[in-house]
Structure 1
Amino acid sequence: MIRKSFFTLCLSLNLIFFSSENDQEKFDIVSTSQRPSNSLSVEQALTSQIENLNTKLKALETELKHRIEALESTNNLKSEQLTHCLTTLESKNVQAYWLKQHQHPPTNCREVKDRGYDVSTTYLIKPDFAPNATKVLCDLEKKGGGWTYILNRFDGSQSFDFDLEDYKKGFGKLSGEFWLGLDNVYYLTGYKMNELLVELVDWNDQSVYAYYDRFRVGSEDEGYVMTVSGYNGTAGDSLSYSNNMKFSTKTKDFDKSSTASCAEYFDASWWYNYCMKSLLTGKYLKGEVSQEHKDKIMFWQTFRGTAYSLKEVRMMVRPRVKSDGN
């Protein structure tokens, strides 16, 4: 808009100059060749006309000057605004860089919630003593929030038929079914007492839960032994039977059975005793199963029994807010 006005003013000035030059030429012709008898009147008229043109010219010059000053002022203002924006952006980038370099990632999903986040999704955490940060799935809403998923199954798309190395590292996708990995669970729970929340859903979409106020998984040297106690909930307690048991696989048998390997017989890795009352890593089938698959499925004995393959299971942990020292 300003550029258009500037062009209009320049065009007006050119027209005035052109008009003045033409009038001057007319004056010279009249004064030298065909000077009328009333030449004084003609000269006075032309002089008056020139004076009017000069007045208009000065007015246009003044207006042009004001327009230029306004344009410069606007440009200066925009320049100042741009400088301010760039300075602010640079400052924020520096702050973000500093935070990225110096602020420790949260150690678990409870700390994610404590930092003000409230959307249940994936976050980067670095548990105490863990060698590297890792992505986890957090539930920041359920039962106070701050839960870190260690197991999630809901459609059977991910096989759980793996041996120790895979169970150590973890497998699956955080956007789907997965096992977080025994090493990660150890770093989450091995140095401080955690709570455990197990959620179960059957094929009628009935949902129940089992809550334990003490849960810990030991290191690899300890055989990833599980400590669990303090049950409360609606699902019944089918996990405490495996308390203080090491994690068994087909090649690493730590169960108490003297006749056979539970992991080999039931074709699944788990914390076996003589052998188990729950198997959340078992085969994913639908509802009631035949005798052939009994006890080899994803089941929870006190909810639907050992011959019913559940639809959904979730295991989540979070640090206890208060500890009584036990």
Structure 2
Amino acid sequence: MVTARDCSDYAVMGRRQDGVYRVSPDPRLGGAVPVWCDMASLGGGWTVIQRRANGTENFNRSWADYKKGFGELGGDLWLGLELVHWLTRGRDMVLRIELQDSRGRREYAKYEQFYVAGEQLRYKLSVGGYSGTAGDALASGEGGSGSGSFRHDQMFFSTADQDNDAYTKGSCAAYYGSGWWFNACMAANLNGRHYRQRYRGVRNGIFWSTWPNVTGTHEPPLTGYRDAFRYAKMMIRPRNYSP
């Protein structure tokens, strides 16, 4: 029996229904693990590594939780840094991010390079090759100050109990209440609090700085309210995948 390394292998086998599948990206993992496969979007074969859909899951979690993963495969989900590392280690992966704001607007960002290093390198992010409609908030941080201090490419992962960011005066993860590849601090954070409508105060919600009409990374909006995102999803598949 052929063991699927990720969801794309099931798609090649003709499996075209969304749902839970078992994958084994590397024999050293010690067996197959369950993942959610998106088999309908853009040719299918996508392994979902993060999803914010209903706001029921707390994403202000520890390093151990982010390493292992948490949530429900069919709902709010963080697949786990260790598994994402193994999924991206053996094959060149594409990342697709899908976002929907509180007004119902949908946009996407696609990256032709996506790799997460192992824990010894603090799950360092390598991402690039942007295309899409949401703007490149993740790799270049172009919605930030322009100084490079907000880009996320080549950043280590941080949580409130393990500060690996580039901000020397505090902890980005503690301040924004989530784990993420913070710089000093961010132009994107898809693990922020899941607000259901516009909110005030610290910009600790799901955030994508290049979204149309989003205010800058520091200044509060003139209305006093910050826009919220209703939905976010991160999913990966091999770059050479052909539906």
Return the TM-score normalized by structure 1: 0.65
User: Match for residue 30 of structure 2?
Assistant: 131
Residue 320 (structure 1) aligned with residue 239 (structure 2): yes
Highest CA radius of gyration, 1 or 2? 1
DSSP 3-state at the match of 1:201: strand
Residue 114 (structure 1) aligned with residue 20 (structure 2): no
What RMSD, in angstroms, separates the aligned Cα atoms of the two structures? 1.3
Residue 236 (structure 1) aligned with residue 135 (structure 2): yes
> Offset of 1:104 from its aligned partner?
3.2
The correspondence for 2:124, drawn from 222, 225, 228, is: 225
The correspondence for 2:167, drawn from 257, 261, 280, is: 257
Give yes or no for contact 2:137–2:188 (8 Å, CA) kept in 1. yes
The correspondence for 1:293, drawn from 178, 202, 215, is: 202
Report the Cα distance in structure 2 between the residues aligned to 1:206 and 1:180, rounded to whole angstroms.
Answer: 26
Report the Cα distance in structure 2 between the residues aligned to 1:321 and 1:272, rounded to whole angstroms.
Answer: 29
User: Match for residue 178 of structure 1?
Assistant: 77
Report the Cα distance in structure 2 between the residues aligned to 1:131 and 1:208, rounded to whole angstroms.
Answer: 38
Report the Cα distance in structure 1 between the residues aligned to 2:90 and 2:31, rounded to whole angstroms.
Answer: 16
Point out where structure 1 has 5 or more consecutive residues left out of the alignment: 1-102
User: What fraction of aligned residue pairs are identical, expressed as a percent?
Assistant: 37
> Offset of 1:127 from its aligned partner?
0.8
Report the Cα distance in structure 2 between the residues aligned to 1:172 and 1:274, rounded to whole angstroms.
Answer: 28
> Offset of 1:132 from its aligned partner?
2.3
Report the Cα distance in structure 2 between the residues aligned to 1:176 and 1:261, rounded to whole angstroms.
Answer: 29
Give yes or no for contact 2:107–2:134 (8 Å, CA) kept in 1. yes
DSSP 3-state at the match of 1:112: helix
Map 1:180-219 onto structure 2 (within 5 A).
Answer: 180-219=79-118
Report the Cα distance in structure 2 between the residues aligned to 1:131 and 1:242, rounded to whole angstroms.
Answer: 31
Aligned residues: 218
Map 1:1-326 onto structure 2 (within 5 A).
Answer: 103-129=1-27, 130-240=29-139, 241-290=151-200, 292-294=201-203, 296-303=204-211, 305=214, 307-321=226-240
Point out where structure 2 has 5 or more consecutive residues left out of the alignment: 140-150, 218-225
> Offset of 1:187 from its aligned partner?
0.9
Give yes or no for contact 2:102–2:227 (8 Å, CA) kept in 1. no
> Offset of 1:128 from its aligned partner?
2.2
Report the Cα distance in structure 1 between the residues aligned to 2:177 and 2:22, rounded to whole angstroms.
Answer: 33
> Offset of 1:288 from its aligned partner?
2.2
DSSP 3-state at the match of 1:271: coil
Give yes or no for contact 1:197–1:315 (8 Å, CA) kept in 2. yes
- 2:165 is matched by which residue type in structure 1? D
Report the Cα distance in structure 2 between the residues aligned to 1:320 and 1:141, rounded to whole angstroms.
Answer: 17
DSSP 3-state at the match of 2:111: strand
Report the Cα distance in structure 1 between the residues aligned to 2:18 and 2:238, rounded to whole angstroms.
Answer: 17
After superposing on structure 2, the runs of 4+ consecutive aligned residues of structure 1 that deviate more than 2 Å are: 128-132, 304-307
